[in-house]
Structure 1
Amino acid sequence: MTSTRTQDTDEHAVRALIDAVSAAWADNDVAAFVAHYADDATAVLPGLALLSKAVIRTAMAAAFADQLKGTRRIHRVQDVRFLDNATAIVISRSVTVHASENEPPADRWSIATWVLSDRSGRWLIEAYHDCPAA
């Protein structure tokens, strides 16, 4: 039996990856969080560049134990664009929500750019960049 790969199935898989990253964040599960990153991934945040999966793991473990403990991350996908069969660029509006909040303040939302690649049938985050929306 052969499967037919389509842009719709790829987009579904890409969106599922972003949902899984959000779920891992909500669980403060650093292993599940970084499982979706390529080994040589980069994450660029305001004032901070994390230049490998190992560095991302260390930074997120510290954050989940401290200032991000009990938070959740919402990513509202705005656009998914495929450069080819193995590369996607995703734009999301994203925000960190603290445990005491039902809704985050409007000024905390950011715009995120994700670069994803399909490595042997599995989508991974190659690069993530987040900047304030305002």
Structure 2
Amino acid sequence: MSNAVSPVRPEDAKAVQDIVARITSAWNENDADRLATVYSEDASIVLPGAHLKGRPAIRDWMAEAFDGKWKGTQVLGAPLELRYIRDDVILLLSQGGAYPPGATEVPVEHAIRGIWVFVKQDGEWIITGYGNTPVRAPIPLPEGPR
């Protein structure tokens, strides 16, 4: 039975938030190996100009990005919506993007909205799909330590 309109159970919401926090931490350290571990082996990512299929492709693309365009950046992924598609599938809509250290906002050229698909495999949540699209407006960073 579908839970599409049910609130996400606190333990599942925490698991998803923990995964996003792991991505943020890995990104902020430019660690493509660690970042790739939150994706399923057959995950799909769609980004402007890129389609990545599978954990190795995700890892390789991120390693190249951390050596180039995204080197030294930090990332924000603030939740907008979190809901079940089924008991073992969660949809997360977020906004954020990459920004340089010391910034007060995600600059317009890097501001995105993302869609994440989490599945429960072997009792653990993992990302099986992700895509993002430009917002075309800056996104203020939340107050507090970064």
TM-score, normalised to structure 1, is 0.89
Dislocated runs of 4+, deviation >6 Å: none
- Encode CA deviations 1:23-67: one digit per residue, 9 max, x unaligned: 110011111100100000011001111111111111111111122
Mapped partners of 2:104, 2:112: distance in 1:
18
Letter in 2 for 1:15: Q
Q: Which runs of 5+ in 2 are unaligned?
A: 1-7, 137-146
Alignment of 1:116 with 2:140, yes or no, is: no
TM-score, normalised to structure 2, is 0.82
Q: SS of the residue aligned with 1:69? A: coil
- Encode CA deviations 1:73-106: one digit per residue, 9 max, x unaligned: 1000111111222110000002101236343324
Partner of 1:83: 85
Partner of 1:40: 42
Partner of 1:31: 33
C-alpha contact (below 8 Å) 2:116/2:131 kept by paired residues:
yes
Partner of 1:58: 60
Mapped partners of 2:40, 2:97: distance in 1:
23
Count residues in correspondence: 129
